[in-house]
């Protein structure tokens, strides 16, 4: 599980940074990747990355401002031209389906795969055997949502040496034990799952927040997240401007991470007033003064989501 940024700028693209798009690579977990937001030019960014649109499984839109949305019709169309045939689900606020229906129909774009658009107002929006995704409304000029991706705990590893000592060879009973159930061999020996299974592998939590002022829903979405992606459009000396434009500062993002008990914070969605990476270093220093485990999001860089160990 890794985070990969395709765009980190706010409002409009610059020569240094593209507008917002974040990928969550789940190659080991699902052989796919998920995407959060799709600003203009995202498909060009994908071409410069190790990502392949055919592996895109889910796409989550935080809100319907152009710097988070204008790249979506082109990317959906290109996915088909690049051989993408697997189903794709796009999640987002009400209005998303109308936007896509009009864009794709007027341009006569052909989508040669099953495309499902799920509009939501927050809550549990997806769940299967291995993951669930929760969403909640943030505080922006239009409805903007944050997403909390929760990887479910996975069973521990089987102690194959101990199983061999019982005379149990690989087969269906291994799967039964792996699921946490006890088994009895043909010889009448009962083997409990507890004695041959290691501790479960704790699932990870990734939170990606859309554009927002500091607000009440940010904390539960980010609670004990292994990695929190939070906008930091302005340095803290521009806190009044940030509030007027319904955005957050570096310090506010760090305070959210600290209060929520997150393990790591990635700052993104930087104002164009900060041009080069060097100009962003003071923003990083501001955030680290509150929350030391903070990094600046850099485009085309992988950020592993480490699994927490122990209690």
Average pLDDT, integer, range 271-277: 93
120 assigned binding-site residue: no
3-state secondary structure of 8: coil
269 assigned binding-site residue: yes
3-state secondary structure of 298: coil
Residue-level pLDDT at 310: 57
Average pLDDT, integer, range 15-38: 97
Q: Over 60: is that where the pLDDT of 138 sits?
A: yes
Q: Are the C-beta atoms of 303 and 273 separated by less than 8 Å?
A: no
CATH of 2-154+201-304, one of 3.40.50.1220, 3.40.630.30, 3.60.15.10, 3.40.50.2300: 3.60.15.10
The pTM of this model reads 0.90
Q: Are the C-beta atoms of 156 and 193 separated by less than 8 Å?
A: no
What is the 8-class DSSP label of residue 43? H
Residues 103-115 pLDDT 10s: 999 999 999 999 9
Between 148 and 155, the higher pLDDT residue? 148
Residue-level pLDDT at 158: 86
Q: Are the C-beta atoms of 80 and 112 separated by less than 8 Å?
A: yes
Residues 74-105 pLDDT 10s: 999 999 988 889 999 999 999 999 999 999 99
Residue-level pLDDT at 5: 98
Residue-level pLDDT at 76: 97
Please state, rounded to an integer, the average pLDDT across all residues of the chain: 94
Q: Over 60: is that where the pLDDT of 225 sits?
A: yes
Residue-level pLDDT at 301: 96
Domain with CATH 3.60.15.10 in the chain: 2-154+201-304
Residue-level pLDDT at 133: 98
Q: Over 90: is that where the pLDDT of 169 sits?
A: no
186 assigned binding-site residue: no
User: 176: pLDDT confidence band, cut at 50, 70 and 90?
Assistant: confident
User: 42: pLDDT confidence band, cut at 50, 70 and 90?
Assistant: very high
247 assigned binding-site residue: no
44 assigned binding-site residue: no
Between 158 and 135, the higher pLDDT residue? 135
Q: Would you name the residues annotated as active-site residues?
A: 67
Residue 280 CB-density burial (10 A; 0-12 exposed, 13-18 middle, 19+ buried): buried
Go through 135-161 and write b for each residue having 16 or more CB atoms within 10 A of its CB, e for each that does not: bbbbbbeebbbbbbbbbeeeebebeee
Residues 183-224 pLDDT 10s: 888 788 888 888 888 888 899 999 999 999 999 999 999 999
Residue-level pLDDT at 183: 85
């Amino acid at each position: 599980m890794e985070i990969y940024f395709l765009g980190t700028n706010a409002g409009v693209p610059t020569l240094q940074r593209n507008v917002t798009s974040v990928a969550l690579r789940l190659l080991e977990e699902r052989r796919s990747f998920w995407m959060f937001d799709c600003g203009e030019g995202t498909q060009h960014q994908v071409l410069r990355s190790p990502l392949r649109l055919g592996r895109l499984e889910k796409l989550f839109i935080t809100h319907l401002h152009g710097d988070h949305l204008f790249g979506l019709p082109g990317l959906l169309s290109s996915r088909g031209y690049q051989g993408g045939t697997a189903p794709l689900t796009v999640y987002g606020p009400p209005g998303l389906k109308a936007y896509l229906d009009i864009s794709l129909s007027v341009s006569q774009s052909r989508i040669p795969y099953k495309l499902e658009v799920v509009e939501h107002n927050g809550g549990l929006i997806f769940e299967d055997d291995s993951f669930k995704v929760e969403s909640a409304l943030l505080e922006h000029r239009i409805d903007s949502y944050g997403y909390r991706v929760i990887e479910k705990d996975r069973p521990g590893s089987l102690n194959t040496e101990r199983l061999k000592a019982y005379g149990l060879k690989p087969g269906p009973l291994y799967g039964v034990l792996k699921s946490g159930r006890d088994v009895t061999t043909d010889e009448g020996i009962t083997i409990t799952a507890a004695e041959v299974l290691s501790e479960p592998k704790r699932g990870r939590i990734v939170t990606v927040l859309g554009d927002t002022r500091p607000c009440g829903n940010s904390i539960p979405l980010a609670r004990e997240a292994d990695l929190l992606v939070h906008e930091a459009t302005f340095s803290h000396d521009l806190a009044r401007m940030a509030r007027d434009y319904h955005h957050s500062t570096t310090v506010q993002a760090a305070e959210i991470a600290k209060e929520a008990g997150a393990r790591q914070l990635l700052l993104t969605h930087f104002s164009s007033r900060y041009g080069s990476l060097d100009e962003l270093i003071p923003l990083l220093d501001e955030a680290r003064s509150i929350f030391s485990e903070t990094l600046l999001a850099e485009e085309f860089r992988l950020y592993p989501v480490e699994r927490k160990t122990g209690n």
